[in-house]
Amino acid sequence: MLAKLAYRNMKRSARDYLVYIFTMTVVTALMYAFGSLIFENTLPRYAETAGILEMMTGLATFFIVLIVAWLINYMVRFMLEKRSSEFGIYLLLGMKKKEISRLYMRENLLLGGTAFLFGLALGILLRQVLMAVLFAMMRMEYRLGVSFHPGTLLTTVLCYAGCYLLALLRCRRKFRKMNIHDLMNAKRRNEEIRERGEGIKRLLLPLSVLFIFAFWTVFAVLDNTGEIVLFLVGLVLTIYLFYVGVSAWVICYVRKKGNAVYKGQNLFLLRQFASKVRTMQFTMGTLTALFTIALLGASVALMFSDYENTVLEDKFPFDVQLYSPEVQEDFADEMAVLQEQTKVLEARRYHIYTDQSNQVNAWMLTHLRVWGTMFRKEDGTPDREKIEAELKNGGAYCASDTYMGLSDYNALRAMLGYSAAALGSDEYLIQVKSRLAGEVQGMAQDLRITDRWGEGTLSCAGICADAFSQDGHNGGDYVIVVPDEVLGRMQLYYSELAADIDGTVPADLGERMNKTGQNPDRLGVYAEAELRPNECYGSDMIIAYAEDILVRDNLIPAAKYMLASVIIPLFYIGLVFVCVAVTVLSVQQLSDSAKYKFRYDILAKLGLERVQIHRLIRRQLAAYYLCPAVLGIVISGKMILFMSGRFVEATGVPVSPLSFFIKSILLFFGIYLVYYVVTYISFIRNVDER
C-alpha cells in the first residue's frame, strides 16, 4: 500500500515540480557528460598539459555538487513544507512518523531516480556532442561511439545520490521533531506577513546602492588582500541586505500611498512583490550570488574562447621556429629531424642582434599600458633601478634591445606571404605585436639609433604590426629592423631558424626535435636556473606560451586543449548555476500559483478581465525574475569589465571589453527566457483551472 501511495504521490509531485525534474535531468546529463572528461578523455594528450582538463573539470564538479546539493536540499524541504498538512492527516489516521518519513523518502528517491535515468540517457548523448565540439576545437576527427565507463557512471551516481541522501536525512530529523499540530499548521505559518521596523530596514536599500556604487568606483584600485577580502564581505552582505531593503522600501511606499499605488493593479503587484521578496530574501540573495558567479564564469570562458578564435593563429605564424641562445648554433640536428620527418619548402637560419643598450626596453616598460606605472617613479620619470632589475630577472624583455637585419626580415616576410619592406640607409622600422601598434606610435621620438658610421641617427620609417612570432623568437613584443649595414656596429645576440613546411607535420615533431638534446625546455630551465640575458617572453600576461621549439601544428591543438580546460569547466559552472537559480525561482512561482490561486479568483470577481490577469501575472513574474538577475548583472558587470579590459590589453584580442559582458548576458537571458515562458504558461494554466 505504501509503495502505491508513494508512486501516486510521486506522479503528482512530478507534475507539480516539472521544472525541478527538468533541471535535475539536465544537471545529471551535464554531470555525466563532463564527468566523462575525467574518466574517458579520448583527446590526445600533450606532455605539459596532461591532467589539466581533468583537474579543472574535477574542480568545477566539486562546486557543482555543492550547489546541486543545495538545490536538492531546498526542494526536498520545500516540498515537505508544502505537503505538511497532508502528512499531518496521515499521522492523524494512525501512520507512524517513521512510516511517513520512509514514504516521503521513497517518493523522493523515485522522483530523483526517474530524473537520474532520463539524465543519464541525455548525458550519454550530450557526451557525444561535447566530445565532437572538443575535437572540432582541436581540428581533429571524432568518431561517434557510445561508450559507458563505470568510473563516470559511479561518480555521477555518487555525487547525485550523496546530495539526495544528505537532504533526505536532514528531512528525517525534521520529521522526528514535528507533531501533528505543527504539521497541520506549517502551511499557515509562512503566510503571515510581519512588518516591523520597516522605516529603518528601508535604509538598507540606499545603503546597498551606495555600496554597489562604491564597489564600481573602487574595485579597479583595490590592491591588497585585506582590502579585497573586506570588499567581498561587504558585497556578500550587500547582496543579502539589498532584498530586506527593497521589500521594506516597497512596503513603506505602499503605506505612504505613493501615486503609483493608485494606478490600476499596481497596489496588488507591489504588495505581492514585497511579500514574496520578504519571505524569500535569503534565497533571493543566494540566487543573486549564483547569477554573479555564472556571469563571471561565462564571461571568462568567452574571453578565452575569443582568444582561441582570433589570436591563437597569429601567435605561431611560422610552421616551425627554433631558438638557440648560442650564436654559433647551426641547428644541424634539428634540420636533420625536419628533413627526415617533413617536406621542408624553405628554411632560414638567422640572428637577432643587439646594440647592448636598452633604450627600447626601457621605453616599453615605461610606456605600455600593461606595465602601468610600475617602472616610473612618483614624479613620472623612469625608475632606472627597477627597469634594470626587470630586464635582468623579469623575462618580458631581453637584457638588451633586439635588432634584425632588413634582408632577414624580408626573407621571413616572404615566407609568411607578406610584401617586402623597404628601408633607406638611414631609416629603421619598428616591428611589434598587433595589439601594441597603437601604443608605440610615440616611440620613434624618444629613440636614438646610431647609423653605421656611428655619427648620425636613423629615422623611423614606420611601424609594422603583422603577426611575426614575437614571444621571444623575433624579439619580445618588438624587434627593430635596420639596414644590414647598421648591423656591423652591433653584436650577435642569439640564433633563430624559421622553416616553411609543405603539408602537415607529425604530432610528435616538436618532441623529436627536443630530444636532440641541445634545446631543453625553456620553462624548465627558467624554473631551475637564472634567466639567460638573451631570453624573453614578451609582455603577454594571461596567456603566454614560450618555447625554444615552436611547431605550429603541434602547438595550436595543445594550446587549444589547455584553453578548453579553462573554457569548458567555466561554461559548465555557469550553465548549472543559472539553471539551479531559475529553477528555484520557477518552482517557487508555480507552487504559489497553485497555493494562491484564490488571489487571482478574487481579482476576477473584482472585475479584472482574463487578459488583464494574464498581463498582471506576466508583470509579476518579470519582476521576480529580473530582480536577482539585474543585481547579479550590476555586481558582476564591474568585475567583468575590469577583467575583460585587462584581458584585451594583455592578449590583444581585437574586440571591445564590453562584448564579453553583453554576450554572457545574452546567453543567460536565453536560458532565462525559456524558464520564464515555461513558468508563465504553467502559471496561467494553474490560475485558469476551474
Partner 1 sequence: MSDYIRVCDVEKYYGSGSHVTKAVDRVSFQVEKGEFVGVMGASGSGKTTLLNLLATIDQVTAGHIYYGDTDITELSENALSEFRKKYLGFVFQEYNLLDTLTIEENILLALTLQGGRKKEIDEACGQILGLLGIADIREKFPYQVSGGQKQRCACGRAMVNRPRLLLADEPTGALDSHSSQTLLETFTDLNRSMEATILMVTHDAFSASYCGRILFLKDGKIFHELVRGPKDRKVFLQEILDVLSLTGGELTVQPAAEL
| Cβ at position 196, least distance to partner 1 in Å | 12
Q: If binding is defined by CB under 8 A, does position 85 make contact with partner 1?
A: no
By the 10 Å C-beta count (0-12 exposed, 13-18 middle, 19+ buried), 146 is classed as exposed
Region binding partner 1 by CB under 8 A among candidate stretches 117-125, 512-520, 596-604, 617-625: 596-604
| Cβ at position 201, least distance to partner 1 in Å | 17
Nearer to partner 1, 174 or 187 (CB): 187
Query: Three cell numbers at 400?
Result: 638588451
- Inter-residue contact 467 to 318 (CB < 8 Å): no
Region binding partner 1 by CB under 8 A among candidate stretches 153-161, 294-302, 313-321, 597-605: 597-605
Rounded-to-integer distance, Cα 590 and Cα 171, Å: 22
Nearer to partner 1, 448 or 690 (CB): 690
| Cβ at position 89, least distance to partner 1 in Å | 20
Q: If binding is defined by CB under 8 A, does position 257 make contact with partner 1?
A: yes
Number of residues counted as binding partner 1 (CB under 8 A): 34
Q: If binding is defined by CB under 8 A, does position 182 make contact with partner 1?
A: no
Count Cβ atoms below 10 Å from residue 562 Cβ, excluding itself.
Answer: 20
Q: If binding is defined by CB under 8 A, does position 268 make contact with partner 1?
A: yes
Q: If binding is defined by CB under 8 A, does position 199 make contact with partner 1?
A: no
Q: If binding is defined by CB under 8 A, does position 598 make contact with partner 1?
A: yes
Count Cβ atoms below 10 Å from residue 118 Cβ, excluding itself.
Answer: 17
List phi, psi (to 5°) of 139: 55, 45
| Cβ at position 94, least distance to partner 1 in Å | 30
Nearer to partner 1, 60 or 608 (CB): 608
With left for phi above 0 and alpha for psi between -120 and 50, is residue 472 left, alpha or beta? Answer: left
Tell which one of 275, 341, 359, 659 touches partner 1 (CB under 8 A): 275
The C-alpha torsion from 342 through 343 and 346 to 347, rounded to 10°, is 20
User: What would the x/- binding string for partner 1 be over residues 604 to 643, using CB under 8 A?
Assistant: xxxxxxxxx-------------------------------
Rounded-to-integer distance, Cα 274 and Cα 243, Å: 9
Buried b (16+ CB within 10 A) or exposed e, 437-448: eebbeebbeebe
Nearer to partner 1, 50 or 260 (CB): 260
Q: If binding is defined by CB under 8 A, does position 566 make contact with partner 1?
A: no
Tell which one of 165, 261, 337, 447 touches partner 1 (CB under 8 A): 261
DSSP 132-161: HHHHHHTT----------HHHHHHHHHHHH
Nearer to partner 1, 1 or 611 (CB): 611
Rounded-to-integer distance, Cα 83 and Cα 101, Å: 12
Nearer to partner 1, 267 or 467 (CB): 267
Q: What is the layout of strands, in order, in the sheet containing 343-354?
A: 459-464, 427-432, 478-482, 403-405, 343-354, 491-502, 320-324, 549-551
Tell which one of 73, 114, 128, 266 touches partner 1 (CB under 8 A): 266
Nearer to partner 1, 271 or 348 (CB): 271
Tell which one of 25, 101, 247, 272 touches partner 1 (CB under 8 A): 272
Nearer to partner 1, 84 or 108 (CB): 84
Tell which one of 255, 343, 392, 515 touches partner 1 (CB under 8 A): 255
| Cβ at position 245, least distance to partner 1 in Å | 19
| Cβ at position 170, least distance to partner 1 in Å | 29
- Inter-residue contact 605 to 683 (CB < 8 Å): no
State how far the alpha carbon of 241 is from the alpha carbons of 156, 499, 511, in Å.
36, 62, 57
Report 324-383 residues binding partner 1 (CB under 8 A): none
State how far the alpha carbon of 79 is from the alpha carbons of 13, 82, 102, 157, in Å.
8, 5, 15, 23
User: What would the x/- binding string for partner 1 be over residues 515 to 554, using CB under 8 A?
Assistant: ----------------------------------------
Length of the chain as a residue count: 690
- Inter-residue contact 545 to 559 (CB < 8 Å): yes
Q: Which of 392, 367, 389 is nearest to 380 (CA)?
A: 367
Nearer to partner 1, 410 or 612 (CB): 612
Place of cell 584600485: 221
Binding site for partner 1 (CB under 8 A): 191-193, 254-255, 257, 259, 261-268, 271-272, 274-275, 596, 598-599, 601-612
